[in-house]
Amino acid sequence: MFYWYRYVYRRHQLNRKWESSIKMRKPKAGGLDCTDACAIMVDDDGSDSSSTHANNLNHNTEPLPIELDLLVGKGRFAQVYKAKLKQTSSDQFETVAVKIFPFEEYASWKNEKDIFSNTDLRHENILHFLTAEERKEEKQYWLITAFHPRGNLQEYLTRHVITWEELQTLSSSLANGVAHLHSDWLACGRPKVGLS
């Protein structure tokens, strides 16, 4: 893990040096503008997180049309459900994950919501956040994210034996996500607040 973290971190350092040298060579009007490049989230596997809903969910004032399907996890502060999000333009559904906090766990919900809402944390190797909702009628707080059918990492590794190639891919993905979270810079060179 340390090796992969160092590899990703050094790659980011080299990218920053390269971009700064290009900016020095180009006139200011033609310099690099990476604000759009940093805002784009690429979803390579074409999963549900790339839906048309993902860009507009945070602006809703009314609860989304979500039907809870199956309890997939339970922790000290919340329960996680596989759920169906109804598409507004058709009768089709999109599979999402809903983390439900009881009324008493407002502080835990707000803390996670604030972290997930930070757009600088978006990355292909980090769970895609869609929106957060206060369900006052049910006295619950919801976090809605992309759904991953393989479940959480601990359960997957408990139930499956993986090959060296799968381990390498998994380690690389994990290291890239952790490196992004802890980095003080985005890939385009713009500064961000790193999580510690």
Residues flagged as binding site for ATP: 99
- Helix and strand numbers (H, E) in the chain are 5, 5
Produce one character per residue of 50-64: b if its CB has 16 or more CB atoms within 10 Å, e if not: bbebbeebeeeeeeb
Burial bucket for residue 85 (CB in 10 Å: 0-12, 13-18, 19+): buried
Cα gap 27→154, rounded to integer Å: 51
Residues flagged as binding site: 99
What value does the CA radius of gyration of the chain take, rounded to a whole number of Å?
Answer: 19
